[in-house]
Amino acid sequence: MQRPHVTIIPINGKTPDIHDSAFIAPGTRIIGDVRIGPEASIWYNCVLRADVSHIAIGARSNVQDGSVVHCDGPMPGHPDGFPTIIGEDVLIGHMAMVHGCVLHDRAFVGLGAIVMDGCVIESDAMLGAGALLPEGKHIAAGELWVGRPAKKVRDLTDAAKAGMQLGVAHYVENGKRHRAALQD
């Protein structure tokens, strides 16, 4: 598919691999060893830069407007560096910074939140809006963490988890609408 006004740059012999059903909004920059899965959506003016390691984004996950996803290369004590691995059905809010971490299936990163190297957010867990998750922290399944630095405040309710999945479905459908509008 033609991707108007999207910058896709191969680097270090690695070219981004984007599934045909993914929505990539204009203004997005995708660089290097990036894999984007089916029905994922990368929204307006995001930057995904995998020039020193790799980034993988699973099916139906979304990276909302203005977010930055990066990784970190090999370093002392971390010979494999810190790739960024984003599972399936993950929500990443507007203006988030996701760097060298693992977001399991159905994880949630709130608006303007920062996730640093070596962090893990398990399934059905949430990092709240504006939070900072320092290097190496681990949010267990079903937990809500907020603040700078982020700390656990409570477990998420079943209703909150269901709401996150409604958000995933919304972004899959919204991506289809935006894609159609751009093709008109």
pLDDT at position 4 is 67
The partner residues of 109 in beta bridges, in order of sequence, read 92, 127
Does a structural domain hold residue 2?
no
Mean pLDDT of 18-39: 97
Does a structural domain hold residue 1?
no
Does a structural domain hold residue 166?
yes
Task: Render pLDDT for 94-130 as a digit per residue (tens, 0 to 9).
Answer: 999 999 999 999 999 999 999 999 999 999 999 999 9
Does a structural domain hold residue 115?
yes
Closest CA to 115 of 131, 129, 95, 91: 131
On the question of pLDDT at 1 being above 50, the answer is no
Q: Is the peptide bond before 83 cis (omega within 30 degrees of 0)?
A: no
Q: How confident is the model at residue 184 (pLDDT cuts 50, 70, 90)?
A: confident
Which CATH number covers residue 178?
2.160.10.10
Task: Render pLDDT for 34-52 as a digit per residue (tens, 0 to 9).
Answer: 999 999 999 999 999 999 9
The per-residue pLDDT of the chain, averaged, comes to 96
C-alpha span between 151 and 59 (Å, rounded): 29
Q: Which residue range forms the structural domain that includes residue 24?
A: 7-183
Contact 107, 121 (CB under 8 A): yes
The partner residues of 152 in beta bridges, in order of sequence, read 145
Per the structure, the count of domains in the chain is 1
Mean pLDDT of 68-84: 95
The partner residues of 9 in beta bridges, in order of sequence, read 31
Does a structural domain hold residue 158?
yes
